[in-house]
Chains A and B, each alone.
Chain A
Amino acid sequence: MKKSAILSALSSQGVLIALALLILFGWLRYDNFLDPFNITSVLRYNSMFALVALGMCFVIMTGGIDLSVGSVAALGSVVSALLSSQGMLIGTLGGVAAGLCVGIINGFVIVKLRILPFIATLAAMLAANGTALLLAHDESVSVSYDGTFVNLGQGDLFGLPVPAWIAVIAYIIGWIVLNFTASGRTVLAVGGNEDASRLMGLSVDRVKFMVYVLSGGLSGLAGVVLASQFGAGQPIEGVGWELFAIASVVVGGTLLTGGVGSVGATLAGVMLLGLIFNVLNFENGLGWISLSAYWQSVIRGLFLLAVVILQSRLTSKEAKA
């Protein structure tokens, strides 16, 4: 337990150092890197991924995985776009509720039917995708601009984009829940050793169920932000989000075997992977080199590779010591 705690601390510091270095690099190299415009647009866009990654972080800490987040976000965006004429509140609630429904189904299939999280959420990914396309009649659904719904994604509050506020609040709540509540500690205990937790009388099933519901709800919320930010519910959006979220969580030092994790480092992981794309854009703007947008996935992949190899090195060293 102690070893893994040290490891987690190391990796989470690592991601913060890497993030700081990347920002420093950008600030020194590009003129407009720390302009308010660039900062707000990066935050606005990546807050969706941050929400999805938060739910994923909790799921992974229990030793599970949720592959359905991308298509759940797409479903959430369609539902909220369909309800957007009713105002911000109804639209948001609708999208989140859609996500919660999928989360509840995931939790039921995994906990009650005892099907591997990997397969259960894979099926949910298909089902959510099919439902989103059905509801949207296979095309994107425009959002109503009459009401207040679009403010959620496009508005600003105290100089920061509203989606960024939503993400920050979600992360603060997530941090408190993980570190200061019994349920949060149970999440880590379940991921550390499920059988032992069960024998200690912890409510393993309830916590496992809850993390999938949470992940579904947050993905639905990310979908609401998506719809309101781009003015449309997009049934085919969200492809590859699950892997981006998993990568962010891993880069943040959360172990995929469960039991160790940090909410803050996950946020840093999201920002790091998001900024790689931003830096690439600036680099192209300088005109020295011209890297197509396709390089971003190569660079992200290499980054993930470096992190997992480093993690495995650290774990094996810990094990030997």
Chain B
Amino acid sequence: MSTATTPNLPAAKAFDYKSIMLKNASLLAFLALVVFNMIYTNHFISIQTLNVNLTQVATIVIVGVGMTLVIATGGIDLSVGSMMAISGAIAPLIFLGTAVKISEIHLAVAVAMVVAIGLAGAFGWFNGWLITRFRIQPIIATLVLFIAGRGIAQVSTNGNLQPFKVPEFQWIGLGRWLGVPVQVVIMVLLVIAAAWVLKRSLFGRQILAIGGNENAARLSGIPVASVKRWVYCISGLCSGIAGLVVIAINSSSDANLVGLGMELDAIAAVAVGGTVLNGGRATITGTLIGALIIQLVRYTLLSNGVPDDVAKLVKALLIVVAVWLQRQGRS
């Protein structure tokens, strides 16, 4: 006859269990994928598989770090792919000596990298300026650069492919540091730095406060406009780095292709990773895991003989399910 009180206890326990599951859904999904592959995919446990997957995922994570910060403020950046194209188009113009002649190759490469990444950062800052100065919605403000940016990259190279063989530069995409691909090192460093900024620094607190409630943040004295400009600038810088990595891997720069569709991959990684898309809550490690999940799903399907087209369908389903689960977790 203990109908009134006892049923509450197991119910409460079950709820806790469920919420823990939901909170760590992306991590659990990632582990499940790894276990699945260990059992079913041949040669999964090898340094080579690890390197292949990490190399492919690195650019998405690098862009995703900037995207996570942007989304944490309640914004979005559609122009990341175009900024990659700009950075990828400008760098070879400098180190190949097409635009300016610098005889010392190391200096040329250094200048090329700084200018290319800096230019992408400047364009990102321009996005932030549009959004804060004119109160244009982020999706439209960055749409401008999405359309114009690739055009700028194409115009500056005349749409030509720029092939090159410059080991001093390509180190960023092909080199190894203690056996680890350089872009993976960059990715890890960026993830650690951004995670620290978001969790521990004033800037990170301000980002989350703006995403949670912009008006409240403004009233409490947070310099909303300047924080937002910096966030979009960081997204541009990250895209600039990713653009250099991509052209270094390809040994050529094609303004028509560099970074094409990257905005989708980056946003998908952020969404699957559990960052709230309305802003206010964000996780950089989540984005890393999100990108790894998407990469691993694709790898699993492809290495088990499923065509790439089906992998796209699965990716679409994955995004919807991840965001839906996130909603369930909150409500």
Which residues of A does B touch, CB under 8 Å?
65, 109, 113-116, 118-120, 122-127, 129-131, 133-134, 138, 239-240, 243, 246-247, 250, 256-257, 292, 294-302, 304-305, 308-309, 312-313, 315-316
Contact = CB atoms under 8 A, between A and B. Distances in A.
Interface of B: 76, 78, 130, 134-137, 139-141, 143-152, 154-155, 158-159, 260, 264, 267-268, 271, 277-278, 307-313, 315-317, 319-320, 323-324, 327
B327 to A, nearest CB: 6
Contacts of B76: 118
B320 A130 contact: no
Contacts of B134: 308-309, 312-313
B330 to A, nearest CB: 11
Given A133-B309, A312-B134, A312-B135, A126 B316 contact: yes
B321 to A, nearest CB: 9
Contacts of A247: 143, 147
Contacts of A292: 154-155, 158-159
A300 B143 CA distance: 11
Interface residues of A, dominant DSSP: helix
A302 B148 CA distance: 7
A256 B139 contact: yes
Given A292-B158, A304-B144, 5 more contacts: A127-B316, A138-B309, A298-B155, A300-B147, A300-B148
A275 to B, nearest CB: 16
A298 B140 contact: no
Contacts of B268: 122
B319 to A, nearest CB: 4
Contacts of A305: 130, 144, 148
A256 B158 contact: no
Contacts of A134: 307, 309-310, 313
Closest 4 CB pairs of A and B: A301-B148, A130-B312, A297-B151, A294-B154
6 contacts: A113-B327, A119-B267, A130-B310, A257-B137, A304-B140, A305-B148
A297 B316 contact: no
A169 to B, nearest CB: 29
B137 A256 contact: yes
Contacts of A240: 147
A116 B316 CA distance: 14
A109 B307 CA distance: 26
Contact of A243 (B147, B260, B317): B147
A122 B78 CA distance: 12
Contacts of B151: 294-301
Contacts of B159: 292, 294
A124 B136 CA distance: 26
A166 to B, nearest CB: 26
Given A118-B139, A294-B154, A131 B323 contact: no
B324 A113 contact: yes
Contacts of A304: 140, 143-144, 147-148
A295 B151 CA distance: 6
Given A120-B320, A122-B267, A308 B136 contact: yes
B136 A295 contact: no
